[in-house]
Amino acid sequence: MDARDSMNRIQSTTSPHRRFNPLIREWVLVAPDRTQRPWEGQLENISSPAQVTFDPACYLCPGNVRAGGEKNPPYTGTFVFDNDFAALKPETQAWEVEEKGLLIARSEAGRCRVVCFSPRHDLTIARMAVVELRRVVDTWCDEFSELGSEPRIRSVQIFENRGAMMGCSNPHPHGQIWANEFLPNELAKELRSLGEYQQRHASTLLADYLELELEQKERLVLTNDHFVLLVPFWAVWPFETLLISRRAVTAMDKLTDEERTGLAEILRQTTIRYDNLFQTSFPYTMGFHQRPTDGDAHVEFHLHAHFYPPLLRSATVRKFMVGYEMLAMPQRDITPEAAAKLLRGVSDTHYLDQSKA
Q: Which residues bind ligand H2U (CB under 6 A)?
A: 59, 66-68, 83-85, 114, 161, 168-170, 176
Which position among 17, 121, 172, 174 bears the catalytic label?
Answer: 174
Q: Does 174 bind Zn ion (CB under 5 A)?
A: no
In the complex, least distance from residue 70 CB atom to Zn ion, rounded to whole angstroms = 15
Return the residue of 31, 58, 166, 207 that touches Zn ion, per CB under 5 A.
58
| Pick 278 or 284: Cβ nearer ligand H2U | 284
In 233-311, which residue ranges form alpha helices assigned H by DSSP?
257-278
Give the nearer residue to ligand H2U in terms of CB position, either 170 or 198.
Answer: 170
Q: Which residue is nearest to Zn ion (CB)?
A: 58
What 3-state class would DSSP assign to 295?
Answer: coil
Strand partners, 30: 17, 332
Among ligand H2U, Zn ion, none, partner that 172 touches (CB below 5 to 8 angstroms by kind): Zn ion
In the list 30, 61, 116, 165, the residue contacting Zn ion (rule: CB under 5 A) is 61
Which residues are within 8 A (CB) of 273 and not within 5 positions of it... i.e. 6 or more apart? 221, 222, 343, 346, 348
Closest approach, Cβ 117 to Zn ion, in A, equals 11
Nearer of residues 169 and 347 to ligand H2U, judged by Cβ: 169
What does 273 bind: ligand H2U, Zn ion, none (CB cut-off 5 to 8 Å by kind)?
none
**Which of 220, 111, 128, 241 has the alpha carbon at shortest distance from 174?**
128
Given the complex with ligand H2U, which of 87 and 105 has the nearer CB atom? 87
Query: Which residues pair with residue 174 across a beta bridge?
Result: 116
Write phi, then psi, for 99 (nearest 5 degrees).
-130, 115
- Contact at 8 Å (CB) between 47 and 163? yes
Q: Is residue 174 flagged as an active site residue?
A: yes
- Whole-angstrom Cα distance, residue 157 to residue 343? 27
For residues 170 and 331, which CB has a smaller minimum distance to ligand H2U in the complex? 170
Total residues at interface with Zn ion (CB under 5 A): 6
Per-residue CA distances from 290 to 252, 298, 301, 314 (Å) = 7, 10, 7, 32
For the chain, counts of helices (H) and of strands (E)? 7, 16
Binding at 83: pick from Zn ion, ligand H2U, none (beta carbon under 5-8 Å per type) = ligand H2U
244 binds, among ligand H2U, Zn ion, none (CB under 5 to 8 A by kind): none
Query: What does 61 bind: ligand H2U, Zn ion, none (CB cut-off 5 to 8 Å by kind)?
Result: Zn ion
User: Where do runs of H (alpha helix) occur along the chain?
Assistant: 3-12, 130-148, 185-201, 205-216, 257-278, 324-327, 336-345
Which residues, other chains included, contact 257 with Cβ-Cβ below 8 Å and sequence gap of 6+?
none
Which of ligand H2U, Zn ion, none lies near 121, with the C-beta cut-off 5 to 8 A by kind?
Zn ion
Closest distance to ligand H2U from the beta carbon of 61 (Å): 11
* Rounded alpha-carbon distances, angstroms, from residue 131 to 268, 328, 345, 353: 11, 45, 26, 18
* Contact region with Zn ion (CB under 5 A), list: 83-91, 167-175, 245-253, 268-276: 167-175
Q: Which residues are catalytic?
A: 174
- The footprint of Zn ion (CB under 5 A) covers 55, 58, 60-61, 121, 172
